[in-house]
């Protein structure tokens, strides 16, 4: 369907439109978590923009600000009926400019770009930091270390400090929501009162997804992974891994992970100062 781009309005969207975007993402096979919608919205209600024609949503995406210190562009989707008309190009640049205006001066922006779009994003000022590969594993009951236990409210301050190290920026509101989602399990590895890793597994449209999986070493990462696989019983489990963490790749191979597809983590500005050797699974492609 072709039409005049001047008829398009780009504006902040509400939760109902975000729900529509999430339904499109599901139809595209992105497999969002069952309760991602509420977490995404409440993390930054000002961070979702879309294109409308005659009041109808035809495209949209997230431009999340983490306290002005870091931004993330995700959930970028144009309805299939309206593609190849320049809508995506107009919306993408508008979202980038709006996000820059919401951030502190010289703050970085991250995103995960699919292979076909990476050259386009590079022209828009984003550089590839590393590749992310999605793997499918099989849920199964495993015995786990006694150091692995559920995250409780008393853990939050320590989890937030550890997440800040691994993610590279503070995301307090997001974490409060992410760690307490329905149909999920948030677990920590704690030794001598020190948080040495944590993971979240949640129910998705299809089976379960892990994200994040942060750990100080391979042994801790494996114990957290086994606990997540046990939660999923006999279903599939999806995990997105930065390929430059070779130990993470070795771990997923050990558990017979099947490659599904890949993206690239890209940054406009300086990459996040995060210890990649502790990132065994990123949190999400939508919010970072």
Tell me what pLDDT residue 249 has: 98
Q: What is the CATH number of the domain that holds 75?
A: 3.40.630.30
- Looking at the structure, do residues 253 and 189 belong to the same domain, yes or no? yes
Q: What is the CATH number of the domain that holds 191?
A: 3.40.630.90
CA angle, 33 then 37 then 40, to 5°: 105
**Which residue is it, tokens 């995103």?**
111
pTM (2 decimals)?
Answer: 0.95
pLDDT digits (tens, 9 = 90+) for 31-86: 999 999 999 999 999 999 999 988 889 999 999 999 999 999 999 999 988 888 88
Asked whether residue 97 is assigned to any structural domain, the reply reads: yes
Asked if the model's pLDDT at residue 8 lies above 90, the reply is: no
Percent of the chain with pLDDT over 70: 98
Q: Are 131 and 263 in contact (CB under 8 A)?
A: yes
Gyration radius of the chain over CA positions = 19
Give me the number of domains the chain comprises: 2
Percent of the chain with pLDDT over 90: 89
Mean pLDDT, range 208-232, rounded to an integer: 98
Burial grade of 157 (CB within 10 A; 0-12, 13-18, 19 or more):
exposed
Rounded to an integer, what distance in angstroms lies between the CA atom of residue 285 and that of residue 288? Answer: 6
Tell me what pLDDT residue 9 has: 85
Tell me what pLDDT residue 84 has: 85
- Looking at the structure, do residues 155 and 276 belong to the same domain, yes or no? yes
Tell me which residue range forms the domain holding 10.
5-110
């Amino acid at each position: 369907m072709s039409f005049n781009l001047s008829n398009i309005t780009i504006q902040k969207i509400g939760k109902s439109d975000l729900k529509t975007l999430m339904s499109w993402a599901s139809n595209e096979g992105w497999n969002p978590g069952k309760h991602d919608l509420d977490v995404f919205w409440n993390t930054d209600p000002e961070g979702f923009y879309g294109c409308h024609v005659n009041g109808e949503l035809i495209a949209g995406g997230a431009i999340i600000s983490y306290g002005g210190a870091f931004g993330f562009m995700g959930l970028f989707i144009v309805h299939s009926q309206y593609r190849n008309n320049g809508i995506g190009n107009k919306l993408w640049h508008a979202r980038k400019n709006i996000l820059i205006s919401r951030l502190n001066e010289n703050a970085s922006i991250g995103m995960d770009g699919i292979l076909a779009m990476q050259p386009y994003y590079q022209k828009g000022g984003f550089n590839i930091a590393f590749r992310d590969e999605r793997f499918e594993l099989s849920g199964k009951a495993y015995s786990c270390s006694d150091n692995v236990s559920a995250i409780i409210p008393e853990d939050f301050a320590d989890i937030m400090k550890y997440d800040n190290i691994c993610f590279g920026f503070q995301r307090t509101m997001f974490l409060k929501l992410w760690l307490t989602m329905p149909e999920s399990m948030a677990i920590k590895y704690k030794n001598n009162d020190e948080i040495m890793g944590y993971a979240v597994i949640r129910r998705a449209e299809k089976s379960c997804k892990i994200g994040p999986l942060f750990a100080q070493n391979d042994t801790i990462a494996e114990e957290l992974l086994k606990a997540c696989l046990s939660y999923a019983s006999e279903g599939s489990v999806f995990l997105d891994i930065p390929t430059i963490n070779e130990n993470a790749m070795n771990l997923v191979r050990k558990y017979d992970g099947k490659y599904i597809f890949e993206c690239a983590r890209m940054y406009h500005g300086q990459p996040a100062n995060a210890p990649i050797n502790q990132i065994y699974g990123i949190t999400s492609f939508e919010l970072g």
